[in-house]
Amino acid sequence: MWPNDRLINLFDIELPIIQAPMAGSAFSDMVVAVSEAGGLGSLACALLSVEQARRELETIRRKTSRPINVNFFCHQQPRGDPALEMNWRRRLEAYYVQMGLDDSAAVLSSNRVPFDDKMCDLVLEFHPEVVSFHFGLPDKDLLARIRRTGAKIISSATSVDEARWLEDQGCDAIVAQGYEAGGHRGMFLTQSVFTQVGTMALVPQVVDAVRVPVIAAGGIADARGIVAAFALGAAAVQIGTAYLLCPEAQISPIYRQALKEAQDDETAITNVFTGRPARGIANRLMREVGPMCDVAPEFPLAAGAVAPLRAKSEAAGSADFTPLWAGQAVRLNRTLPAAELTKQLAAETLEKFRFLQTRALPDVLAQAAVLATVGR
């Protein structure tokens, strides 16, 4: 049925559609809905405490016995540099003054914690079928502990080098994350955001470079994108932004509104919210301080000084200082429950494949025959 069934077989799922892990936006309801629909639901843990992650996993395991993916960030936690922090606060000072905020309100660190022993214990306890990482992989001991549970391990690559590196470390599949993608870039062997590759160019080059199955991510929002991903050699797609208008997405009304109104040319890659490049709908902070800013402290520390500005402006109904993560295909979003969206995406994609095989193929073969005689 599907032109490439490697991922379906590897993960033991029905549909090669992975709901992207989305820290802060998608929780147990979304995961259960997508996994029950036959796709792979993903729980992002980067913004959850161990206790919160445990509660989400208990709910998920109670409501579905289907395979799930549990996702973690694995950046190096920075020490924090007071001089850089001071520069960053100075850069934001005018906003603090405008909003009548005391800049001692800024918190020094943010709550994005890399994968560690305690989260690893949780993985051992709940045995997710798939464990995925963003920003590379955790250290070898933690990885070995996960591997012993039998979980399939995957991570995001934004270049051929990163994909090869992940395969060398033993990843079972690789998410090729194109430049179009919403949220944080998974880049970990480069800092250069300007040389990041689009999905259309990245996927086939990664497919050629590794032996493990490749999952296409970035700007895929409907059947046309999924068909294209398979044509490029992918064995599955990972879709984030398109799930954000589902009722299961736990996002604020201002974020939801921004997603509904965003146009194709309104997202940009920025580091002003966290210190790492991520794609979101351009807003005031991105336009006036970024989108890329040299004085933003290392990930995730930049978020600390932005937090009070965000809280105050959100309380006044404004998204000026809110990260509005979204990919370049945001205009294609539809408002549907996550299970329905998953099934519709799959059905529409299969219909397109059928069309190509039955209706279009005879025409293509006839054309090819004509071209062959011309060539003689």
Which residues of this protein are in contact with ligand FMN, per CB under 6 A? 20-23, 25, 44, 46, 71, 134, 156, 177, 180-184, 217-220, 238-242, 325-327, 329
From the CB of 179, what's the least distance to ligand FMN, in Å?
A: 10
Residue 181 tokens read as: 């993608």
From the CB of 218, what's the least distance to ligand FMN, in Å?
A: 4
From the CB of 113, what's the least distance to ligand FMN, in Å?
A: 12
From the CB of 43, what's the least distance to ligand FMN, in Å?
A: 9
The rounded distance, in Å, linking the Cα atoms of 23 and 28 is 12
The rounded distance, in Å, linking the Cα atoms of 147 and 138 is 12
Rg (CA), the chain: 21
Rank residues 69 and 313 by Cβ distance to ligand FMN and give the closer one. 69
Rank residues 73 and 96 by Cβ distance to ligand FMN and give the closer one. 73
From the CB of 329, what's the least distance to ligand FMN, in Å?
A: 5
Give the side-chain half-sphere CA count within 13 A for 60: 30
> Identity (one letter) of the amino acid at 80?
G
| Pairing, β 130-134 against β 68-73 | parallel
From the CB of 344, what's the least distance to ligand FMN, in Å?
A: 16
Rank residues 178 and 233 by Cβ distance to ligand FMN and give the closer one. 178
Question: Is 268 in contact with 292 (CB distance < 8 Å)?
Answer: no
Rank residues 70 and 210 by Cβ distance to ligand FMN and give the closer one. 70
The rounded distance, in Å, linking the Cα atoms of 184 and 327 is 10
Q: Shortest Cβ contact with ligand FMN: which residue?
A: 240
The rounded distance, in Å, linking the Cα atoms of 53 and 260 is 29
The rounded distance, in Å, linking the Cα atoms of 214 and 6 is 9
Element at 229 (helix H, strand E): helix 223-231
> Identity (one letter) of the amino acid at 9?
N
Rank residues 95 and 179 by Cβ distance to ligand FMN and give the closer one. 179
Element at 306 (helix H, strand E): helix 302-315
Q: What's the Cα-to-Cα distance from 191 to each of 62, 102, 210, rounded to whole Å?
A: 41, 33, 22
- Reduce the DSSP state of residue 295 to 3 states and report it: coil
- Quote helix, strand, coil % in the chain, to nearest 5: 45, 15, 40
The rounded distance, in Å, linking the Cα atoms of 332 and 356 is 22
Residue 149 exposed, middle or buried by CB count within 10 Å (0-12, 13-18, 19+): middle
Rank residues 180 and 320 by Cβ distance to ligand FMN and give the closer one. 180
Question: Is 255 in contact with 322 (CB distance < 8 Å)?
Answer: yes
From the CB of 145, what's the least distance to ligand FMN, in Å?
A: 20
